[in-house]
Structures are given as C-alpha cells and as structure tokens.
Structure 1
Amino acid sequence: MEVRDLVRGTVDWAATEAVARELADRTGRDEVRVEFLDADNWLSTPCVVDEEWFVKIVSRQNAFVHAVFTTGRNLGAVTSGREGFFDHVGSPLEMAERELAATVRMREIGVNAPEPVEAFEVDGHGVLVLEYLDDFRTFDDVAADEARRLTPELFEHLWRMHDDGLAHGDLRGENVLVKGGEVYFIDATSVREDGIANARAYDLASALATLEPMLGTRTVVELALDAYSPGDLLDAREFLDFVNVRPDHDFDAERLKGEIEKVADASG
C-alpha cells in the first residue's frame, strides 16, 4: 500500500456494502450500483450511485487527516500575519453534515452547486449524498479561451458567497466544475465565523492562484476587479505565499503580487 493511501484511509468493501444497503433502504430500491471515482481525495472516498447521486464516504481516518490539515492550514495563516480561521470538524458524520449545510446555503443565495440530498452515518462512517452532475469537467480541464469566458462567473459566485458571510476554504480548479457552460462549486470546507474576513481573502488568493497560469497575471487581476475592490486584492495578496506552498497550486506568486500592487497604486 502506498503511503498516501495509508494516510488517506481507504474504505473497505464491507463498509461500502453497508452504505449501499442503507442507500437502497432509504430510496426503496432492492439494490444500488456503486461506481468509485478515480479522484485524488484525501478527505473521503467519492463514488457515484446509480448514476444519480454523488456520494462521499468519510472514514475516521479521513476525519483525522482533516484535523491534521486544519492545524497545518491554520499555522500557515499565522505565518501570513493572520489568525487561523479553518474550523476543526470532530467526526465523519459532522464532516458530511457541514458540507451538506454549506451546499444548501450556496444554492439558497444563487451559487451553482449540486442539489443537496442528505447526510447520515453508517457504522461510524459519515455519508454525504448530493446530486450527480454527469458530463462535467473540472476547471483544470477547460481550455484557456473557455476559462477566460467563465472566470467572471466564477468571481461573481465567489463574491456572492462572501457577501452572504460564506467562505469556501478550499478553492482550486478541481473544486470548480463546468457543466452546460456554467460553473458549479463543490467541496466547501469549514471556517470559523470569527475568521470570515481572513477566509475571504484566502479564497480570493486561491482563486487568483488557480486562474493565473491559465489566463496570465494581468488578465486574472483585471477580471477579479470586476467583482472585488483593489483593497480586497491587497488583502488576498497577503495569503499568496501561503497558497504558493500548497502542492495543488502552481503559479507565479511574485508577478501576481506585483500586479496587485500596481492596481492598488493606480487606485490611489
């Protein structure tokens, strides 16, 4: 077994069968078909059930890894001169319930997200059930011209979340889906209410870091300014070094910081 598989925590077949039986009982079906997804997800085992639902199975090991990641991210926030703002989640069920609640709130304020179905517990595993969006692509997989067209919508949805007191907490290309020419947000994580301002700045920094390699430094900053102020970008600038050390982001942090400074200077 690879180290990452050990750390991630796989869900054994007996647990998967128990989840499948519970889903069948809850939907009045004799049985359901489970198809695992080939996704590099450290915090759950994702699968598709009957090509109708997207299901995440969260183990105790996933909850432990989430706690470790939360501690590391909060330490990273401190190195950026801010207080930590990521919220620890205690159990697999709570992880599933938190993401379900975040998905409900996103849809309530008009942010595209899969339809939430339910969250429940089976044999110590948390289970999250959402609508399955078939024929989707992640933002990482779209061409540059399509990314340029969709980016204003991405920033608009992100601003709408922030304006309503929400934050995503883990914004990256694979957590933004594209279907039918629209963007959908998934995998929102938990942030503390008293740290929402810092979480918003971190979200914006993560969005800039995700989009900069596809669109170029100047273009991504110009598009961000359609939704955010130069002051917002300066706040995000403080988190760019922190975002840059994450293995799931690869961007030119110094050029991005320099472009933000130019915009701020020009605005007075």
Structure 2
Amino acid sequence: MGVRRLVRGNVAWDRLEAVARAVLERTDREVGHVRFIEADNWLSTPFVLDGAFFVKVISRQNSVVHAVLTTSRNLGAVTAGTEGFFEHVASPYEMARREFEATRRMRAAGVAAPEPLGVLEVDGLGVLVSEYLDGFQPLDEAPAERIADLAPTLFDRLATVHDAGLAHGDLRAENVLLVDDELYFIDATSLQEPDEADHADAATATRQYDLACALAALEPLVGAQTAVDAAAGSYPAVDLLGAREYLGFVDVRPDHDFDGPALRGEIDHRAA
C-alpha cells in the first residue's frame, strides 16, 4: 500500500476541500462529512461524502501514472502478437469522463455497477461522483467457498460487458464488489467507442486481455481449475487460449500475483 500511495501522490487538503465543496454545491447541500478510504489503486484519491457519494479525485500525477501503465499494457499486447489497444486519455478530467461513460454503458448492458452521478473539473482535478455502495465487500475478502460459488457469475457478467462492445481494462479482485449477493464492477478504465467495435482484432484482444486478468485475479483465491472451469462456462476455448497468451504479461504487473504455469496447464487441459 505504501508504494501505491507514493506513486499515487498526495493531493493537498485545500484542493480536496474545494472538491468536496463543489460536490456539495452540485448536490444542494451546505455542509457534509468527508471520510477518506484506503482504496487499493494507483490512479486516484477517493473519499466518501456524507455516506452517500463516492468521490474519486484524479490529479495530473495520476494521469501520468495512467500513461505509463497504458504504455506497458500496449507493449504487452505487442508481445502477445497484437497491436496495442489501450488508449491513454489526455487529462484528469478526461479520465473521469471516460470512467463515467464506461460505467454508464455497463449499467445499460445489465451489469451491476455503482450509479455514476456526475463528472466535474475542480482546480485542474478530474472528479467522478458515484453512488456509495454501503456495506460492500471486495471479492478477495470473501470466504473462498463463496468466491468459488460466485466465479461463474463473474465471468457471465464479464461476457455481458464484452457482448455490449465494452472492455473493463483493469479487472482485479479489488474491482469486483459484493453487495447483498450481487457482484458490482467498478473502476472500468477501457472503453471501446461504437466505431472501434468494428475492428474485430481490437475487440478480440481486449476481451482476451480482460479474461486473462480475471483468471489471474481468481486463481489465488480459488485455484486454477476452479477459475478456468468457471470461465469456460461463458467463454469458448479460443478465448481461453487467447487469454493464455496474455498471462505472462499480466504476471509482470505489480497488482497481480498468481500461479501462471498452473493456469496455463488448466487452459491447455480444457482446450484439449
């Protein structure tokens, strides 16, 4: 967490206070209570306002880190035999807007996600305001048996995202929340615009990359066999084999720690 906090950087309190005041004004409130949370991410400073609004504050430093991560992801795509398919956004506000639109489209496709309520720019900061999911539990904090039961649902929801011409782009266990037995996707970072969806190679690459990330997230929690079996219920063998090619790249990311050989072996067994 310390490394993440260092890379994420610190936004001065007076700037965060300005953000809180802007959100309060937008929601017709005069005063409010700010509670900072330890979110496991690199790309924002999050806080909860009045127990009702989740506010994600994106700084210029966050945008620079996003550019570095985007470059590394695209290099990984090239090593896997495809062109880079992640697009860096130019400003903190644009990062917030893209996540707003991705979340809105996921909800329209029938995938549970916190309701996006607004996007604004305050003192050069990008600000995304969403509903706060009270009582949520990150998937990786649930009991292993519960995660195993939910794994097929996770891949079914991810397939729904892909069928709608979308891609999550940053799927980790921390980005899947459990609320009252429903799985919510958060922190979507990659969005295919309708005209891009016509490019079959890009759509296939993003789908298989997302699938590789989901397998990498689940393997430490439920084991390779359970993860691959669950994925096979929603994805054909060709996508599993495509995801296999991205596992080596996903393995070098600092936010994934999984048994790559075990996953490759299970995918090979399933494909055979």
Q: Which residue of 1 aligns with 2:166?
A: 166
Q: Distance in 2 between matches of 1:255 and 1:221?
A: 10
Q: Which residue of 2 aligns with 1:227?
A: 234
Q: Distance in 2 between matches of 1:216 and 1:230?
A: 19
Report 1:77-226 matches (<5 A): 77-191=77-191, 193=196, 194=199, 195-226=202-233
Q: Which residue of 1 aligns with 2:264?
A: 257
Report 1:10-25 matches (<5 A): 10-25=10-25
| 1:4 Cα deviation from its structure 2 partner | 5.0
What TM-score does the superposition give when structure 2 sets the normalisation length?
Answer: 0.93
| 1:86 Cα deviation from its structure 2 partner | 1.0
The residue type equivalent to 1:177 in the other structure is L
| 1:7 Cα deviation from its structure 2 partner | 3.0
Q: Secondary structure at the match of 1:156?
A: helix
Task: Tell me the percent identity.
Answer: 58
| 1:123 Cα deviation from its structure 2 partner | 0.8
Q: Distance in 1 between matches of 2:233 and 2:190?
A: 27
- Structure 1: gaps spanning 5 or more residues: none
Q: Which residue of 1 aligns with 2:48?
A: 48
Q: Distance in 2 between matches of 1:216 and 1:42?
A: 27
Q: Distance in 2 between matches of 1:141 and 1:7?
A: 24
Asked if structure 2 preserves the Cα contact closer than 8 Å seen for 1:85 and 1:191, the reply is: no
Report 1:30-49 matches (<5 A): 30-49=30-49
Worse overlay, 90-99 or 185-194: 185-194
What TM-score does the superposition give when structure 1 sets the normalisation length?
Answer: 0.95
Q: Distance in 2 between matches of 1:134 and 1:71?
A: 35
Q: Secondary structure at the match of 2:262?
A: helix
CA change 1:4–1:145 in 2 (3 A) is: closer
Q: Secondary structure at the match of 1:119?
A: strand
| 1:196 Cα deviation from its structure 2 partner | 2.4
| 1:9 Cα deviation from its structure 2 partner | 2.1
Worse overlay, 241-250 or 96-105: 241-250
| 1:34 Cα deviation from its structure 2 partner | 1.1
Worse overlay, 87-96 or 245-254: 245-254
In the TM superposition, what whole-angstrom CA distance separates every residue of 1:183-222 from its partner, at most 9, and x where no partner exists?
Answer: 1000000255352221110100111111112222222211
The residue type equivalent to 2:53 in the other structure is W
Worse overlay, 84-93 or 26-35: 26-35
